[in-house]
Amino acid sequence: MVAGKRTKGEARAPRFYPAYDIKPKAKAAPANPPKMRASLTPGTIVIVLAGRFRGKRCVMLKALGESGLIVVSGPYSVNGVPIRRVNPAYVIATSTKVDVSSVDASKFDDEYFSNNKNTKKTEKKAAAADDEEEFFATEKEEEPKVSEKRKVDQAAVDDQLLPIVEQTPMLKEYLAALFTLTKGMKPHELKW
Amino acid sequence: MGFTRFVEVGRVCLVNYGPDNGKLGTIIDIVDGNKCLVDGPRTHRPRATSDALQATRPNRHHGQDPEEREAENAQSGVGEGGCSRAMGSHGLGQKLAAKKKRANLTDFQRFQLMVARKQRAALVKEKLDAIKDGTLVPSVPEKKAKTAPPPAEEPEPEPEPAAAADY
């Protein structure tokens, strides 16, 4: 190469060089796909242990391969648990299972549940900056609204799930009942 | 009735812990206040333990079986038929069987059992109230009244193995 001349498309040589060698960053090992407990299969009745719905028994619909979470549904009409993602670590898998192969849960992936949470914050900020009075007024938290889309999807799944649940006598009542530990119950010794 | 199930020679007992846990045997000899020699050849209890004087503490033991009481020889008392059979029909044996059954219930079955117990309690209460009101004569042999305690007492339906038998 002639000094000062570059052929077209040739990269310009850097003017400065680092004083010492910079080691190239090691490539992060590809994340292993999450492993699901053998006891957690679609249709398993699970007991949610943490969060808003702790103590509720609900039906597992599917496992999410990407996040490692599971999708459960109460069904909503039975015990008020909507279709939602749950961390399987906070769930007891029971040996009771229903056949949910006929329930179409294909649309419920991680993307479906991800909320664009940023919009809420920016909206709030904007609203607060708008008006001083509003700023000093006691902040009213907006009630989280369930979107119509979610409602429709919930109803669609419930319509499929309810008849399956009702096939087993007392299963509906079982799902509606809260799980609690009572005197003398040792969870590590119990059979689920 | 006072306590009758004493630790005494010839008493059929249930071993409560150790390698022979859950096995039936007969008290052969009382070593001291804490130990006694137990043997039970037919209940697959290894002889060696008793020969080596490894005594087990029969802190829960089985009532003497009238069939076996006559048998002077303690070992022949723990016959294959006698004790094991008696254990099945005996209070303690039933209790143990029920306990085992309970321990193996799944969560759903526990729920069903809970509901069944509630239903039974309601039935008992219904009959009991009727007896209290005088609308039902207690001597009437009611199917469910069997589990009902005498009218003077509060209804306390015990978890009876028969109710658990379904699960």
Q: Which residues, numbered 125 to 184 in chain A, qualify as contacts with chain B under a Cβ-Cβ cut-off of 8 Å?
A: 170-171, 173-174, 177, 179
The DSSP secondary structure of A53-121, one letter per residue, reads: TTT-EEEEEEE-TTT--EEEE--HHHHS--SEEE-GGGEEEEEEE---TTS--TT-SHHHH---THHHH
Contact A76, A39 (CB under 8 A): no
CATH number at residue A152: 2.30.30.30
B103 closest CA partner among A76, A190, A179:
A190
Which comes out higher in pLDDT, residue B157 or A67? A67
Separation of first and last alpha carbons in chain B: 33
pLDDT tens, A94-128?
999 999 999 998 889 888 888 766 555 555 555 55
The arithmetic mean of pLDDT across residues A2-8, rounded, is 70
Which comes out higher in pLDDT, residue A86 or A131? A86
B128: left (phi over 0), alpha (psi -120 to 50) or beta: alpha
- The verdict on residue A70 lying in a domain is yes
Which residue ranges make up each domain of chain B? 12-103, 107-164
Q: Inter-chain contact B108–A96, Cβ cutoff 8 Å?
A: yes
Q: Inter-chain contact A170–B112, Cβ cutoff 8 Å?
A: yes
- The verdict on residue A98 lying in a domain is yes
Percent of chain B whose pLDDT exceeds 90: 14
Using CA atoms, how far residue A47 sits from A116, A192, B40, B89, in Å, is: 28, 10, 45, 38
- pLDDT at residue B105 above 50? yes
- Residue among A94, A173, A177 whose CB faces B106 most closely: A94
| Neighbour tally for A23: CB within 10 Å | 6
Mean pLDDT of chain A: 85
A100 closest CA partner among A120, A83, A122, A80:
A83
User: What is the span of the domain harbouring residue A59?
Assistant: 35-111+147-180
- State whether residue A94 sits within 8 Å of chain B by CB: yes
**Interhelix angle for B91-103 vs B82-89, to 10°?**
70
Q: Which residues, numbered 18 to 47 in chain A, qualify as contacts with chain B under a Cβ-Cβ cut-off of 8 Å?
A: 45, 47
Mean pLDDT of chain B: 64
ipTM higher than 0.90? no
- The verdict on residue A6 lying in a domain is no
Least confident window among A5-9, A14-18, A85-89, A147-151: A5-9
Q: Inter-chain contact B107–A94, Cβ cutoff 8 Å?
A: yes
CA of A192 to nearest chain B CA: how many angstroms apart? Answer: 5
Banded model confidence at residue A34, pLDDT cuts 50, 70, 90: confident
Q: Inter-chain contact A170–B105, Cβ cutoff 8 Å?
A: no
Domain count, chain A: 1
Residue B89 backbone dihedrals phi, psi, to 5 degrees: -100, -10
Cα torsion angle, B108, B109, B113, B115, sign: positive
- The verdict on residue A80 lying in a domain is yes
| Per-residue confidence (pLDDT) for residue A154, from 0 to 100 | 93
- The verdict on residue A161 lying in a domain is yes
Please name the fold of domain B12-103: SH3 type barrels. (2.30.30)
- Residue among B104, B105, B111 whose CB faces A174 most closely: B111
- The verdict on residue A78 lying in a domain is yes
- The verdict on residue A123 lying in a domain is no
Contact B72, B23 (CB under 8 A): no
How far apart are alpha carbons A155 and A17 in whole angstroms?
63
Q: What angle do CA B113, B116, B120 make, to 5 degrees?
A: 140
pLDDT tens, A150-186?
899 999 999 999 999 999 999 999 999 999 998 988 9
How far apart are alpha carbons B102 and B96 in whole angstroms?
10
How far apart are alpha carbons A161 and A75 in whole angstroms?
7
User: Chain B contacts of A170, Cβ < 8 Å?
Assistant: 111-112, 115
- State whether residue A192 sits within 8 Å of chain B by CB: yes
Q: Inter-chain contact A170–B111, Cβ cutoff 8 Å?
A: yes
- The verdict on residue A39 lying in a domain is yes
- State whether residue A188 sits within 8 Å of chain B by CB: no
Which comes out higher in pLDDT, residue A49 or B58? A49
